[in-house]
Amino acid sequence: MNNLKTKGLLSIFIVFIFAAQMISYSNVIACDIYKSNPAAENRQLLTEKNSNIKYKTYEPVKHEALSKRDLDSAAVKIPVLMYHSINVKSTNNLIITPQEFDKQIKWLKDNGFTPLFLDEVYSMLTTGKDIPLKPVALTFDDGYVDNYTEAYPILKKYNFKATIFLITDSIGQHSVLNEEQIREMYANNIDFQSHTASHHELNVLPYQKQLDELVRSKEALSKLLNKNIDCICYPVGRYNADTIKAAKTAGYKIGFTTKPGHAKQSDGLYTLTRVRMFPGMGMQILNSKK
Ligand SMILES: [Zn+2]
């Protein structure tokens, strides 16, 4: 009996020592994360004082600056995600529900992806400098109004950048973004680039008409947002040799197709590929390097 009692007390003592060691070990890890990042440390303290602040969950507390590196520009590969509509009525494979979109952006955030604008993508593909460990760019084609009503609040929630390709002749029409919405989003981390003036498939148009589509949309967006428009996305991904010539002549720096794959220099800066996002897809595909 006595022997049993001693054994029991000894086991409790061992468990206690083990638990005490685990607590001190986890404190070491936690301190290490914040040690060289005073801003993050302050945020952490703030979070502890006020549980309504959600920095703890979504603010990247990783050493982003340190994880950036320089590469041979030919080796840079960036997944540029292609979305269209974010809507509760997901009736075809171009429409993703807000619930699923929220989960996807949370996954990107939780997995340490760094969102980029397309001028950053251009600079990384051409210089190989300052490449984040996990770069990603979000693009939306056609400028649907649900990009404002559904996607924009989710992007704001996770503090995630994105780019919308606009059809400039359609701005303000039924179910398309209007100028006021575009300006508001532009002031809040959402960029806009050209998806041509009328969404004609470019490869069936003569050169001059293609050039007109590219120049007219570039000018309309430059005027609306008071900035240079450097990026073109070809409607339905269709293009030919004249399209690339017209894109260069109109002054674009990069062009996107709908062909699948991570964007890389070897595909050509005017024929960059993207990752098509569809309902029910797994996000792990973004960890591949194709
Ligand atoms: Zn389109």
Task: Report the separation in Å between the CA atom of 171 and the middle of ligand 1, taken as the mean of its atom positions.
Answer: 13
DSSP letter, residue 19: H
Task: Report the separation in Å between the CA atom of 167 and the middle of ligand 1, taken as the mean of its atom positions.
Answer: 8
Dihedral angle over CA of 257, 260, 264, 270, nearest 10: -10
Near ion ligand 1, which residues have CB within 5 Å? 141-142, 235
Report the SS3 class of residue 92: coil
Q: What is the pLDDT of residue 41?
A: 35
Task: Report the separation in Å between the CA atom of 225 and the middle of ligand 1, taken as the mean of its atom positions.
Answer: 21
Q: What is the pLDDT of residue 83?
A: 97
CB 161 within 8 A of CB 192: no
Which DSSP string do the residues of 173-218 spell out, in sequence order? STTB--HHHHHHHHTTTEEEEE--SS---GGGS-HHHHHHHHHHHH
Task: Report the separation in Å between the CA atom of 273 and the middle of ligand 1, taken as the mean of its atom positions.
Answer: 15
Task: Report the separation in Å between the CA atom of 235 and the middle of ligand 1, taken as the mean of its atom positions.
Answer: 5
In this structure, the strands spanning 231-233 and 254-260 are parallel
Task: Report the separation in Å between the CA atom of 92 and the middle of ligand 1, taken as the mean of its atom positions.
Answer: 15
Radius of gyration of the chain (CA): 24
Sequential pLDDT tens for the chain (290 residues): 455 555 665 565 554 554 444 444 333 333 333 333 334 333 333 333 443 434 345 555 454 545 788 999 999 999 999 999 999 887 788 899 999 999 999 999 999 999 999 999 999 999 999 999 999 999 999 999 999 999 999 999 999 999 999 999 999 999 999 999 999 999 999 999 999 999 999 999 999 999 999 999 999 999 999 999 999 999 999 999 999 999 999 999 999 999 999 999 999 999 999 999 999 888 887 876 65
- Supply the pTM of this predicted model: 0.78
What DSSP element (H or E) covers 120?
A: helix 118-127
